[in-house]
Amino acid sequence: MENRDELKVELISSFNYVKTNKHSHFSAYHIVEKLLSHKDGSYFERAHLEYDEMDLIQNLILNKKVIIDFCLKHPEVAYDVLFWPIMFKTLSTKDFSGYSKEQILTLPKLCREVIVHPENIYKMKVQHRVDDRLLYSIPEDKPWEALEWIAVHAPDKLKFVMTRTSLISPFGRNNVVEHYSQIEDKSKIPEAILAYIEGDEQLRKFQSEHGKKTSVIQQQMRLVKKMSWFDDNGELLKLFELADGMQITSVEDYKLIATYFRNSDMSVSEFCRKFKINSVEGFKKMCEKIALTDPDFAEFYKENLETKSREYVATIREQIENVSASQTAIPDMLEGHKTKRSLETVMKMGQSIVTYPTLCAFAENVIKYYHERLNSYDPLSTDEQEILKRLTSAEVKFLMPSKVSAKYKSGASINLGNEFAKPFVPVINQVNPSVKNMVYNRKNGLMKGLDSYSLNFDYNSYATGNTQLIMPDGSLLQTTEAMADMAEAYASKHKLFKSASTMSRIVRAIAEGKIQNQAETEEYKQHLQKRVLKTMKECKTLAEYFEKYRELN
Amino acid sequence: MDKIFTIDNEIEEVLKLIENDKSVINKLSVKELEILDEYLSDKKQYLTEEIGEE
């Protein structure tokens, strides 16, 4: 093993190089490799990293490509790295968009442990947005066992898993129906799967009765003409370009993009906007080509085109009117997975589809609703937290278009400072003053709600000694309030992201004497005390002035 | 403090206690002071903006 001090010097110099040469994947890659290789086979989560190393990793997380490349090269640690909590929370399907089918198919093998252990999948289901990561975790050698486990333990995810006939899913309607039709004893099939199959058979019957009218020959001629992905010179057609210089180099790349589109539940224009695809027409051509050879996709695409445009105008208009008339209509509109999109649509289309007073009434009711909803939030309930997360991310955009954007830059998974919200500001400002005060109060509540997600450090548990940490020598450490305070002060002073894992490492280091910041903590405490007293005084003066001003006017 | 205060009403209660007896602030932990600090700076910003608008 290399000398630790030398290694640290090397890491820091490599990191400095990465900072000044942002596109140097090699150097960032080099750092990750070093970090892992000198731990004697242990990996991020279990490694007792030094604090400058933690910083390095946190910065590297911003460059997910480096991490994924690393996992593909080092399969022995890929599971641990990809399912490292910070990494896991930030990964999304688009992070895998630059990879080939073969590479992506490697990932389920690495992550099969997740599906094998019910606890893990439950954790994934309730704590994270599962989406395609659930598919990545299905082991290739026993997919049906995994499917049945999902049917029993997470039936709400069953449809999602079974309807993704993609590169990353072993299922798909035909496969599912075929597999289970071979099983004679239907009592062995989970109820949720049976219901799906029966529904599917009904659908097939309808299709065969009312199906295709075009002749087979005509269809085949059209297919031959339209299904080619290459031009006359044999070059791959360039239907559109992606942002950030990402290249489409194969038909598989197009198919992968189509899979992401299908899984996204977006309209064509939304998807192109979100992923900065430069030609909507080109994207549609791609979808048409895929639809020619993939009936499932064809069905999805046709339905998507027909419904999405109608949905936008008609549903949103009706919902705005309902919500403006009564708060009871709000849950239907804003507690689904389309919350953000619904609000964005209202913000974008509001005044063009309903009257201005209706829009004001809508804003007022939504603000009041959020206020009440957030007040009834139960921090002990994970599901409740998931709802809060959805509500608050929508609320930030809706109510605070510019003010809070800076605060959560480091840890947030939320994009703030949204352009959509700007036209809505005058509407919010017109809402009566008491609601405006409510907005201010909610901002504080909101911050704390967000804290529970993005910071995730259970200060109370540490301060009251309820947390026991396992030390490197195997002993148990009983935490204290002083330790928790020192960790807080250390993290604040060093501007560290206060995730649970980071903070537990800091507390360990404090207990081991690696961090000795008693004096620094005391100094920080005094600084905070002075600032609190000063700001209290200023607020009092401002409030008195405000009161007087109002009386006089 | 027995537990960390988190909601606005609780924070205002603590501020009142400090207003009446400045020594209360010495009993607060770093975490609690950080919460007060953030709350007050938001409040100050809000009041400043309100006065500006009026």
DSSP letters spanning A273-313? HHTT-S-HHHHHHHHHHHHHH-HHHHHHHHHHHHHHHHIII
> Is position A259 within any domain?
yes
The four Cα atoms A153, A159, A160, A161 give a dihedral, to 10 degrees, of 70
Give A190-212 pLDDT, tens digit per residue: 877 877 776 655 445 544 554 44
A429-433: Cβ within 8 A, 24+ apart? A430/A360, A431/A360, A431/A363, A431/A364, A431/A367, A432/A364
> Using CB atoms within 10 A of its CB, is residue A132 exposed (0-12), middle (13-18) or buried (19+)?
buried
Which residue of A lies nearest to B18 if distances are taken between CA atoms? A533
Query: Do residues A241 and A321 share a domain?
Result: no
Query: Do residues A133 and A59 share a domain?
Result: yes
Alpha-carbon distance of B34 to A390, in angstroms, equals 26
Pick the residue of B33, B36, B41 with the most A CBs within 10 A to test the interface with A by mutation: B33
Secondary structure class of A239 (helix, strand, coil): coil
Q: At what angle do helices B8-20 and B30-53 cross, to 10 degrees?
A: 100
Which residue has 């093998």 as its token pair?
A: A109
Instruction: Single out the residue of A58, A67, A84 nearest to residue A33, CA to CA.
Output: A67
> Is position A74 within any domain?
yes
pLDDT of residue A358: 78
Q: What letter represents residue A308's amino acid? A: K
Q: Domain end: A240, A265, A293, which one?
A: A293
Please name the member of B41, B42, B51 whose beta carbon is closest to the beta carbon of A546. B51
Distance in Å, alpha carbon of B39 to nearest chain A alpha carbon? 7
CB A279 within 8 A of CB A239: yes
Domain count, chain A: 4
Please name the member of B7, B19, B33 whose beta carbon is closest to the beta carbon of A528. B33
Q: At what angle do helices A339-353 and A316-325 cross, to 10 degrees?
A: 90
Q: Domain end: A240, A259, A293, which one?
A: A293
pLDDT of residue A531: 93
pLDDT of residue A351: 64
Residues of B in contact with A484 (CB under 8 A): 29, 31
Please name the member of B6, B41, B46 whose beta carbon is closest to the beta carbon of A535. B41
Alpha-carbon distance of A229 to A235, in angstroms, equals 8
Enclosing H/E stretch for A470 = strand A468-470
Query: Do residues A152 and A247 share a domain?
Result: no
CA distances from A136 to A157, A246, A474 (A): 14, 22, 34
Query: Do residues A463 and A374 share a domain?
Result: no
Please name the member of A445, A528, A545 whose beta carbon is closest to the beta carbon of B7. A445
What ipTM describes this predicted complex?
0.91
Query: Do residues A279 and A363 share a domain?
Result: no
Interface contact flag, A492 B34, Cβ < 8 Å:
yes
Q: What letter represents residue A519's amino acid? A: A
Which 8-state DSSP code applies to residue A79?
H
Residuewise pLDDT in 10s, chain A (553 residues): 344 455 445 545 555 554 455 433 444 445 555 555 544 433 333 333 444 444 555 555 556 676 677 667 666 556 555 555 445 545 555 566 677 656 655 654 434 444 334 344 444 443 444 444 455 556 666 678 778 877 776 676 677 677 654 444 567 666 777 788 788 777 788 877 877 776 655 445 544 554 444 444 445 545 555 667 877 666 788 888 887 667 788 888 888 889 888 888 788 878 888 888 888 888 988 988 888 778 888 888 888 887 776 666 777 788 788 888 887 777 666 655 455 566 666 766 766 777 777 777 777 777 667 656 655 644 333 344 444 555 555 554 555 443 333 333 333 333 333 444 444 555 555 555 555 555 555 555 544 544 444 445 778 888 888 877 777 777 788 888 899 999 989 888 876 657 666 677 788 888 888 888 899 999 999 999 999 999 999 988 888 887 787 777 7
pLDDT of residue A428: 56
> Using CB atoms within 10 A of its CB, is residue A46 exposed (0-12), middle (13-18) or buried (19+)?
exposed
Query: Do residues A139 and A37 share a domain?
Result: yes
> Is position A127 within any domain?
yes
Looking at the complex, does the CB of residue B49 fall below 8 Å from at least one CB of chain A?
no
Query: Do residues A95 and A156 share a domain?
Result: yes
CB A418 within 8 A of CB A407: no
What φ, ψ does residue A362 adopt, rounded to 5°? -60, -50
Q: How many residues does chain B have?
A: 54
Alpha-carbon distance of A252 to A245, in angstroms, equals 18
pLDDT of residue A2: 42
3-state secondary structure A373-411: HHHCCCCCCHHHHHHHHHHHHHHHHHHCCCCCCCCCCCC
Q: Are strands A468-470 and A476-478 parallel, antiparallel or unpaired?
A: antiparallel
Interface contact flag, B29 A485, Cβ < 8 Å:
yes
Give A348-361 pLDDT, tens digit per residue: 676 677 777 777 77
Q: What letter represents residue A395's amino acid? A: E
Alpha-carbon distance of A100 to B40, in angstroms, equals 52
Residuewise pLDDT in 10s, chain B (54 residues): 444 455 667 788 888 889 898 888 998 888 889 888 988 888 888 888 777 766
> Is position A305 within any domain?
no
State the distance between the two ends of chain A, measured CA to CA, in whole angstroms.
Answer: 76
Q: Domain end: A151, A170, A203, which one?
A: A203
Measured from the Cβ of residue A188, the count of other Cβ atoms closer than 10 Å reads 9
A to B CB pairs, distance under 8 Å = 86
State which residues form the domain around A366: 311-404+419-441
Query: Do residues A146 and A23 share a domain?
Result: yes
Residues of A in contact with B34 (CB under 8 A): 488, 492, 528
Interface contact flag, B31 A521, Cβ < 8 Å:
no
Alpha-carbon distance of A345 to A359, in angstroms, equals 13
Residues of A in contact with B39 (CB under 8 A): 444
Distance in Å, alpha carbon of B11 to nearest chain A alpha carbon? 11
Enclosing H/E stretch for A361 = helix A356-375
Please name the member of B30, B42, B51 whose beta carbon is closest to the beta carbon of A488. B30
> Is position A304 within any domain?
no
Query: Do residues A32 and A59 share a domain?
Result: yes
Residues of B in contact with A441 (CB under 8 A): 8
Residues of A with CB under 8 A from a CB of B: 440-441, 443-445, 447-448, 459-460, 463, 481, 484-486, 488-489, 492, 521, 524-525, 528-529, 531-533, 535-536, 538-539, 542-543, 545-546, 549-550, 553
Question: Domain limits of chain B?
Answer: 8-53
Please name the member of B18, B28, B44 whose beta carbon is closest to the beta carbon of A539. B44
Alpha-carbon distance of A248 to A252, in angstroms, equals 9
Q: Where are the alpha helices (DSSP H) in A42-142?
A: 51-61, 64-73, 75-82, 85-90, 101-110, 113-116, 118-127, 131-136
Looking at the complex, does the CB of residue B33 fall below 8 Å from at least one CB of chain A?
yes
> Is position A474 within any domain?
yes
Measured from the Cβ of residue A39, the count of other Cβ atoms closer than 10 Å reads 16
Query: Do residues A105 and A188 share a domain?
Result: yes
CA distances from A425 to A9, A274, A349, A419, A444 (A): 50, 23, 14, 11, 19
Interface contact flag, B47 A539, Cβ < 8 Å:
yes
Query: Do residues A132 and A262 share a domain?
Result: no
Query: Do residues A282 and A346 share a domain?
Result: no
Alpha-carbon distance of A360 to A355, in angstroms, equals 9
Residues of B in contact with A485 (CB under 8 A): 29-31
3-state secondary structure A415-429: CCCCHHHHHHHHHHH
CB A509 within 8 A of CB A51: yes
Which residue has 């840890």 as its token pair?
A: A411
Interface contact flag, B29 A489, Cβ < 8 Å:
no
pTM equals 0.30
The two structure tokens encoding residue A221: 């001629």
Residues of A in contact with B44 (CB under 8 A): 535, 538-539, 542
Which residue has 């030609």 as its token pair?
A: A279
Q: What letter represents residue A467's amino acid? A: T
Distance in Å, alpha carbon of A463 to nearest chain B alpha carbon? 9
